[in-house]
Structure 1
Amino acid sequence: MRPAAAAGGGGGGGRRKAAAAAAAACREWMVVPASGQARVEEAGKHAVMARTGLPARDLRVLDPLLSYPSTILGRERAIVVNLERVKAVITAAEVLLPNSKDPAFTNFVCDLQARVLASSSDQAAEFTDMDGESSAVASPFPVLTPSKGNGLEMANKNANAVGDMTHSSSMPTLTAAKDGNTKVLPFEFRALEVCLESACRSLEEETSTLEQEAYPALDELTSKISTLNLERVRQIKSRLVAISGRVQKVRDELEHLLDDEMDMAEMYLTEKLTQQEISETSSRVEVDEPSQLEDDRDEDYRSEADVSNGSFIGYKPHIEELEMLLEAYFVQIDGTLNKLSHLREYVDDTEDYINIMLDDKQNQLLQMGVMLSTATVVITAGVAVVGIFGMNIGISLYADPTNDEEKRASNMKFWETTLGTIAGCMIMYIVAMGWGKRTAAVAQSQIRRGARERGETGRRSEKEKKMVKVATFFAMTFGAFLFWQSMDKVHVWIALHQDEKKERMERELEIKRMQAELMAQAKESES
C-alpha cells in the first residue's frame, strides 16, 4: 500500500519534496498471516490505522525512536504488543511487525512462522477428525436472540456463516474435540504467546549472563578490594538495576491484565469477529411484528450501552484460555525477577561485608594513631627532662672533674641519667598502652551490653572520634611546645658552656703568662 503521489506542476523541487514526504510517511512492515507466509509491505500510518482500527496514539507505542514502557493493549480489532524488543500489532488474521534488520527480529519472525504453521496443521487435522460435526465456540460477548418464528432458519444461517468464515479466512477459533479436552488457541493468542515467549526468553538470557558475571566478580571483590574490582561491581550493579526495572515493568503489565477480566475479554478478536458476523446475519432476518422489532432494538441498545460502559452486569466472560496463557508467562517472569532479587541481596551483602572490612581497616589506623600519639606524649616527657637539665642553674653534674676518678663518676652519672630517662619513657608508654587497652575493653563490653539491651549493634560515635582527634592535636601541640622550650634551653646551655670554656681558657693563658713572668724574674734574680 503506497500513498498516491502529489499531483500538480510544482516543478522538480516540489515533486522531490512530495516524494520525500511520501517516503517518510510510508514504513516497511513485516506481515505474517495465518498461513505463515511472511511478506514485507510498505504502508503509511493512516493505512495501518484503517487496516487495524487503532488510533494514532497506539501506533506511537511501536515507534522505535520513542521510549515507552512494556505494554499490552487490547482494542476492538487488534492487540498492540510492546514488550522489550518485540513490537507487534496482532489482528485476528495477521501480525504486523515494524521491519528491522536486527538478528533478534529475524529469529522472532522465524519462531512466529513456525508456531503459526504448526498450529494451522494441528487445526486442519482436528477439523478432519471431527467428521463434519460442529464445534462449540465459547464467546465472552452476548449473542443476539432470534425471533420465535424464525428460530430454525436463524440457527441454520448462523451455523453456515460461522463455518464459511472459519474455513475461508483461515482464522481458527477455540475448537473442541468430541471428548471436549483438545482445544486450539485462536490465531491472536498464538501470536501473543510467541511475543511473550520471546520477551521472557530475552530477559531470562540477560539475567543468566548477568549472574555468570556478577557472582565471580563479587567473590573476587571480597577477597581483594581494588579499584578495578570496585569498578566492575559498580557496572554490574548498574546493569542489575536496569534489568530489574525492565523485568518489573513486564511483570506489572501481565499482573494488570490478569487482574482485569474485561481487558482479557477484549483480546478475544476471533470470537468478536464471529459474533459480529452472527449479528450481521441475524440483522438481515425479517421480523413480522413491528413491536417485537422495536423491543429488540431497545434491548440491543441497552446491551450495547452496557458493553460500552464496561459493566457487563451479571456476566462473567470466558477467559480461561488466555488467563492460563498469561499465568504461565507471569510465573516465568516472576521467577526471573526473583533471581534478580537474590542477586541484589548478594550485592547488598557484599557491600556490607566490604564496609565491615573498611571499618576494621579504619579502626586499625585509629589504633596506630593512638599509639603514635601516646609515643609522642612520652617522648615529650623525655624532652622535658632534657629541658630541665638544660636550664641555666648550677648542677654538680656539669662540674669539671679534677682527676680520673671524678671523670669516671661524671661519665657514670651521665649514662645513668640518660638511661633512666629512656627507661622511664618506655615504662610510661607501656603503662599508657595498657591503660588504653583496658579502657577500650571496658568500653567495648559496655557497648556490647548496651547493644544486647537495645537489640542493635554499637559503634563508635562521631563525637568520640572528634574527641580523640582533639586530644591528639592538643597532645601534639603541647609536646611541640615543650620540645621548643627544651631546645631553647639546650641552645642557652651550649652558649653558656662555650662562654665558660672561653673564660677558662683565657684564665689559663693569663696564669701561664704570669707563671712565665715569675719564672723570668726568678732567673734574673738568680743571675
Structure 2
Amino acid sequence: MALPYAFLSAAAGTSSSLPGSRRCSTVHCLPSRPRPPLAPPARVMGKSKRNPASTRLWMRLDRRGGCEMVMCDKAFVARRSGLPARDLRLLGPLLSRSPSILAREKAMVINLEFIRAIVTADEVLVLEPLAQEVLPFVEKLRKHFPLNSLDVDGVSSHAAMDNQDGKLDQDVRCLNEAEGAEHELPFEFQVLDFALEAVCLLYNSTVSDLDRHAVAVLDDLIKSVSTTNLERVRSLKSSLTCLLASVQKVRDEIEDILDDDKNMAHMCITRKTKGQKDEEPLDTDAHLVDMLLETYFKQFDGIRNRIFLVRQYIVDTEDYINIQLDNKRNELIQLQLMLIVASFGIAINTFIAAAFAMNIPHCGHHFIIGGPFGPFVGVTSSLCMSIVILLFTYAWRNRLLCT
C-alpha cells in the first residue's frame, strides 16, 4: 500500500525548497476525498536559532480528515502538543527502538518500532510519514477519518435542507454526535488502534516470510551440511532473535499498561480535554482501553508463540542433523575398531614370524614335506586368526559393532 504519486512528488518537491530560517512551514496539503475546508496550517514566524538539520518531517491529521505535511523542530511540536521537551526524546534516534506508550495531560506519545506519533484530542502528528513502513499506517488514517466526517456532514446537510429555521439541524447534529460517541472509540484510541494494527501486520508478515525462508534453508541443510548452509541458518536465527526481542518489548509495554489502571484512565485525553471528570465516563473509556490493549496483547503473544515455533523447528532440525553426524561418527569408530583388531592379529603374526622364523630350517622355494616350517607357520597364523575372531565376537556381543 503506498500513497499516490502526486502526493509523493509534491511533498518531496516542496520540502526541498523550504527556507532554513523558519521553525515550521507548510510543505503540502494531502489530496483526499471531498471534505470540509481545512483550517490554515499553523506557522511559526521569526528566525530559528537552531540548525536547519534539526527540523524533521511531520504529518498533521485532524479528526475531520484535514491533513498536511510540515517541517518543524521539537520546540514547535512541544508547543503544538503541550508536551514537555523530555517526552519528545522518546521519538529521538536514541530511544526509537524502545517501544513505549506515554500518556500525558493533553497528548499521548506513541513509539512502536517504526510508528512514532503524538496524539491529542483533535489531531495526530506522525513523524517521518514517507517512510516505507509508515505509509500503510498513514494511508489508513487518511482513508478512515474523512469517511467519518463525510457521513456526519451528509446527515447534517440533509437535515438542514428539510428545516429552514435550523432547529432540526441542531437536533440531528447533536443526535449524530451522541451516537458517534456511543458507538465509536475516541480519536486517540482509534489512532492507537491503527498503530497497533500496523505493527501487528508487519510482525505477522515478517514471521511468515521467515517461516517460509526457514523451511527452504533447513531442507538444504538436511541435504548437505556445508559452510554456506550453516551460515544461512545462523543468519536466520539472528533475524528471529531480533524479531523476538522487538515483539517482546511491545508486548511487555502493553502488559505494563494493562497492569496499571490509573495509566489506562490517564489515556482518556478527549474526556480530560472536554472537562468531563465524571467517574462513569472515565471508567467506560478505561474499559475500552483495557479491551483494546488486551486484544492486541493476545495478538502479540500469538506472534511470539509463532516465533518460538519457528525457532523450535530450527532446533529440532539441528538435533536431527546432530543425530546423523553422531551416527556417521559411530560408523567411523566401528571401522576404526575393526581395523585395530585386524592390525593386532597381523602384528602378533608378524612378531612371531620375526622372532622364530630365522631359527627354523627351510629350503627356500623348495617346500619339504615333514619339515617344521609349514606346521609352525600354519599354527601361528591359525592362532592369530583365532585371536581376531575372538576379539570380533567380544565386540559384537557387547554391541560395539552394532549399527
Query: TM-score, normalised to structure 2's length?
Result: 0.75
Instruction: Measure, in 2, the Cα distance between the counterparts of 1:77 and 1:388.
Output: 104
Aligned partner of 1:160 in structure 2 is: none
Aligned partner of 2:385 in structure 1 is: 426
- What does 1:37-52 correspond to in 2, within 5 Å? 37-52=66-81
Instruction: Measure, in 1, the Cα distance between the counterparts of 2:109 and 2:122.
Output: 14
Q: Which runs of 5+ in 2 are unaligned?
A: 1-20, 25-46, 161-169
Give the letter for the 2:294 counterpart: E
Q: Does 1:271 align with 2:271?
A: yes
8 Å Cα contact 1:174-1:184 kept in structure 2: no
Instruction: Measure, in 1, the Cα distance between the counterparts of 2:151 and 2:376.
Output: 109
What SS does the corresponding residue of 2:93 show, helix, strand or coil?
Answer: coil
Give the letter for the 2:114 counterpart: R
Closer, same or farther in 2 for the Cα pair 1:190/1:129, shift >3 Å?
farther
- What does 1:52-201 correspond to in 2, within 5 Å? 52-64=81-93, 66-124=95-153, 175-176=178-179, 183-201=183-201
2:396 corresponds, among 437, 458, 480, to 437
What SS does the corresponding residue of 1:191 show, helix, strand or coil?
Answer: helix
> Following TM superposition, by how much is the alpha carbon of 1:201 offset from its aligned partner in structure 2, in angstroms?
0.7
What SS does the corresponding residue of 1:409 show, helix, strand or coil?
Answer: coil
> Following TM superposition, by how much is the alpha carbon of 1:51 offset from its aligned partner in structure 2, in angstroms?
1.7
Instruction: Measure, in 1, the Cα distance between the counterparts of 2:154 and 2:392.
Output: 92
Aligned partner of 1:371 in structure 2 is: 338
Closer, same or farther in 2 for the Cα pair 1:19/1:54, shift >3 Å?
closer
What SS does the corresponding residue of 1:54 show, helix, strand or coil?
Answer: coil
8 Å Cα contact 2:334-2:400 kept in structure 1: no
> Following TM superposition, by how much is the alpha carbon of 1:78 offset from its aligned partner in structure 2, in angstroms?
0.8
> Following TM superposition, by how much is the alpha carbon of 1:347 offset from its aligned partner in structure 2, in angstroms?
1.6
Q: Does 1:327 align with 2:281?
A: no
Instruction: Measure, in 2, the Cα distance between the counterparts of 1:413 and 1:362.
Output: 47
What SS does the corresponding residue of 1:55 show, helix, strand or coil?
Answer: coil
Give the letter for the 1:376 counterpart: S
Closer, same or farther in 2 for the Cα pair 1:420/1:120, shift >3 Å?
farther
> Following TM superposition, by how much is the alpha carbon of 1:113 offset from its aligned partner in structure 2, in angstroms?
0.9
- What does 1:342-491 correspond to in 2, within 5 Å? 342-391=309-358, 393=359, 395=360, 397-398=361-362, 407-409=366-368, 414=373, 417-440=376-399
8 Å Cα contact 2:129-2:138 kept in structure 1: no
Instruction: Measure, in 1, the Cα distance between the counterparts of 2:177 and 2:384.
Output: 97
Q: Does 1:212 align with 2:250?
A: no
Give the letter for the 1:434 counterpart: T
What SS does the corresponding residue of 2:134 show, helix, strand or coil?
Answer: helix
Give the letter for the 2:22 counterpart: R
Closer, same or farther in 2 for the Cα pair 1:106/1:441, shift >3 Å?
closer
What root-mean-square deviation, in Å, do the aligned CA atoms of Structure 1 and Structure 2 show?
Answer: 3.5
Give the letter for the 2:215 counterpart: Y
Give the letter for the 1:232 counterpart: R
Matched pairs, number:
347
Instruction: Measure, in 2, the Cα distance between the counterparts of 1:241 and 1:349.
Output: 17
> Following TM superposition, by how much is the alpha carbon of 1:440 offset from its aligned partner in structure 2, in angstroms?
3.4
Instruction: Measure, in 2, the Cα distance between the counterparts of 1:369 and 1:127.
Output: 92
Higher radius of gyration, 1 or 2: 1
Aligned partner of 1:258 in structure 2 is: 258
Deviation string 1:221-267 (CA, Å, 9 cap, x unpaired) is 23433322222211111111111111111111112222222111111
